[in-house]
Structure 1
Amino acid sequence: MQPEYVGILLNDSTHRGIPSGKTGTESISNYEEAAAMVGLTPCYFRIRDISLDTLTTTAYLCSPSGYVQKTIPLPKVIHNRAIHSDPYARRLIEQFISSGIFIFNAHTRYGKDIVHHMLTDDPMLRSSLPQTVRAKPGLIRHMLREHGDVILKPCRGSVGLGIMRLRRTLLHDQFTYSRSTPSASGWRSLRIPKGHLPLLLRRRIRYLPFLVQERIPLAEYEGSPFDLRITVQRGGSGNWELTGMFARTTPKGTFVSNIAQGGIPIPVLEPFRHGIPGIHPEMMIQKTAEFGIQIAQSLSCRLPYAADYGIDAGVTADGRLFFIECNGRDQRYGFREAGMPDIWKESYQKPMAFARYLLDHGQWPPL
């Protein structure tokens, strides 16, 4: 009998590493285990491996001798883990969806400005959004006067690349930036006259669209500010469910918490206990879970075929939650780094359970 396949759509670099087991942060063994739990066989391919003429794909399949490539019918359900920037690939995905193939997380990268505007339209979430505008010189100066501390970040991008900070002090402004690929040791800060915008900043916002956003005064744990990563996914019920959350503390000398730049992921219980003393940690966990699900439900009304969000949230010392940004391709490995291996595995199990839901029901879940 033909196996029931679930497709895993990958970028070239991850796909290339499958035979040698070098797939970066993506765990192929987790996919195998999670798919087997719901009676599915995962197959791994790229968009260019698909034949439009025959509706087949050349895919990697697990065999006793390792991973082998085989031509199989294009799976009816595909979990997209690739980032496709070229219009042709995006059109191809839309074409497959129109023909009745379920591709969830069809688009994994959304502009930060687009997502922010979508959430602004939701009256239930509006108060949880930091003031955010397009980064233009006059607006940057206005935001700095109003808030005293602002973050500038590219509308598109990940792991904190290109992010900058302007902070007003009594006598001057302070500009913090990284010239090259950021790391915990690659950041520089310099004093500048009040209202002056450095040449590096002006060049960056001239060539790429940036946002300027008020910086949220984050709660602290052991002397370091921390923010939150909330993973919300569709699972076997078809509904949005919390998979898990962890806190990320910022390394000394930086203002970013991305793990790729030295941010330290840790379970939320102790940061909540010590950083937000006025609210019981379990209540704070519940509040954060509801916040993440509310964001996912709101976005899913505007972003069809989404099933997986990694939501970055700021939290203040009095327990107020703020939406920072949303990732349509959650890296997941933060749970492993935080010492939460069961949640790490669950972040693979939920998409496979959702694939089973789509196969069994033959339709996208109601909003």
Structure 2
Amino acid sequence: MKKKKTLKKPIKISYARYVTSKIAKTKALEASVKLREYVPITKQMNLESLKQMLSQYKMVYIKPNVGMFGNGVIRVEMAEDGARKLYSYQSGVRLRQFKTFQEMYASIHKLTKKRNYLVQKGIHLLKYKGNRFDLRVMVQQTPLRKWETTGVIGRVAHPSKVVTNFHNGGTLKPVDILLHKYLPANKQKAYVKKLYVLGIQVAKAINARYKGVKEIGVDVALDNELHPWILEVNTSPDPYIFRRLKDKRIFAKIRRYAKAYGRL
């Protein structure tokens, strides 16, 4: 007797939903020609790369390759006083100053130890009432698996800190309040719309390399010319910060989409 043929079950391929490596996400963005002008130069941090980028940009940020809530982020600066160069860095609320690069690097090395750190071109953020701010752009897959920007909110840094993260002392503000000083009200809507489009482009670039990603939070810095810079992409963004917005429909949609793909 011939044996009955058994149908083989299709192999289900599962993809990781979360990407923790900042350098990996940066490379995914740099692979998109459309996005390169929005991505600050980012390199693996070591003595040579820090010295070279600090000499070129005068201010840089170093951050752990894997980390959350702005923990471990350090702002490093080089100032020139005539022929002298002065070096400083701020970690948390503490500012330290040094006469030589070597002294500063030795101090930074004690903080970073054996962890993998990145060095990123410093973007001088716009300010709200004297404190730096950036924007969080929330982008999600809809139930029909299309990418949609579902919200934008501002994050104002604590007066004593270099990071804007809400979970690190930052304050949440509506975008129109933060842009009021820099952009006329009749131009704000078109500008924010560009950020919505940028968010979708970022999501597609990340998703092209990491198929399991369902949502992203894009941290966007604005410079003095209102050029947007993508500081970081979070694949596990906090949706609840959008509850702080006056328009409750925004969080309602974010929550509905998050439930559809199993986040909430």
TM-score by length of 1: 0.63
Deviations 1:222-257 (A, max 9, x none): 222210100000113320001101011111121100
Q: Which structure is richer in relative contact order (CA contacts within 8 A, separation 6 or more)?
A: 2
The aligned amino acid for 1:135 is M
Quick check: 1:140 aligned with 2:50? yes
Counterpart selection for 1:230 from 113, 134, 137: 137
How many residues are paired up? 248
Counterpart selection for 2:243 from 326, 333, 336: 336
1:326 is paired with a residue whose SS is: strand
The aligned amino acid for 1:130 is P
Contact 1:227/1:248 (8 A) holds in 2: yes
Structure 1 position 99, deviation (Å): 3.1
Counterpart selection for 2:120 from 203, 210, 213: 213
The 5 A counterparts of 1:261-272 are: 261-272=168-179
User: Relative to 1, partners in 2 of residues 1:190 and 1:286: Cα closer, same or farther, differing over 3 Å?
Assistant: same
Task: Provide the C-alpha distance between the structure 2 equivalents of 1:245 and 1:116, rounded to a whole number of angstroms.
Answer: 21
| Partner in structure 2 of residue 175 of structure 1 | 89
TM-score by length of 2: 0.87
2:209 is paired with a residue whose SS is: coil
| Partner in structure 1 of residue 31 of structure 2 | 121
Task: Provide the C-alpha distance between the structure 2 equivalents of 1:108 and 1:279, rounded to a whole number of angstroms.
Answer: 38
Task: Provide the C-alpha distance between the structure 1 equivalents of 2:226 and 2:186, rounded to a whole number of angstroms.
Answer: 7
| Partner in structure 1 of residue 65 of structure 2 | 155
Structure 1 position 348, deviation (Å): 1.5
1:162 is paired with a residue whose SS is: coil
What residue ranges of structure 1 are gaps of 5+ in the alignment? 1-96, 179-186, 356-367
Contact 2:134/2:220 (8 A) holds in 1: yes
User: Relative to 1, partners in 2 of residues 1:294 and 1:206: Cα closer, same or farther, differing over 3 Å?
Assistant: same
Deviations 1:233-292 (A, max 9, x none): 011332000110101111112110000111111111121221345981101110110111
Contact 2:148/2:200 (8 A) holds in 1: yes
User: Relative to 1, partners in 2 of residues 1:209 and 1:279: Cα closer, same or farther, differing over 3 Å?
Assistant: farther
The aligned amino acid for 2:212 is Y
Task: Provide the C-alpha distance between the structure 2 equivalents of 1:341 and 1:312, rounded to a whole number of angstroms.
Answer: 22
Alpha carbon RMSD of aligned pairs, Å? 2.1
Contact 2:134/2:156 (8 A) holds in 1: yes
1:275 is paired with a residue whose SS is: coil
The aligned amino acid for 2:35 is L
Residue identity over aligned pairs, in percent, reads 23
Contact 1:221/1:275 (8 A) holds in 2: no
Contact 1:247/1:267 (8 A) holds in 2: yes
Quick check: 1:191 aligned with 2:97? yes
Contact 2:217/2:237 (8 A) holds in 1: yes
Quick check: 1:317 aligned with 2:224? yes
The aligned amino acid for 2:12 is S
Contact 1:335/1:344 (8 A) holds in 2: yes
Task: Provide the C-alpha distance between the structure 1 equivalents of 2:119 and 2:215, rounded to a whole number of angstroms.
Answer: 26
Structure 1 position 349, deviation (Å): 0.4
Deviations 1:314-352 (A, max 9, x none): 112322111111111111121123445432232110133
| Partner in structure 1 of residue 3 of structure 2 | none
Q: Moved runs in structure 1, 4+ residues, more than 6 A?
A: none
Contact 2:18/2:212 (8 A) holds in 1: no
Task: Provide the C-alpha distance between the structure 2 equivalents of 1:134 and 1:277, rounded to a whole number of angstroms.
Answer: 39
The aligned amino acid for 2:26 is H
Contact 1:136/1:205 (8 A) holds in 2: no
| Partner in structure 1 of residue 6 of structure 2 | none
Task: Provide the C-alpha distance between the structure 2 equivalents of 1:342 and 1:194, rounded to a whole number of angstroms.
Answer: 53
Quick check: 1:296 aligned with 2:203? yes
What residue ranges of structure 2 are gaps of 5+ in the alignment? 1-9
User: Relative to 1, partners in 2 of residues 1:240 and 1:203: Cα closer, same or farther, differing over 3 Å?
Assistant: same
| Partner in structure 2 of residue 20 of structure 1 | none
Quick check: 1:350 aligned with 2:257? yes
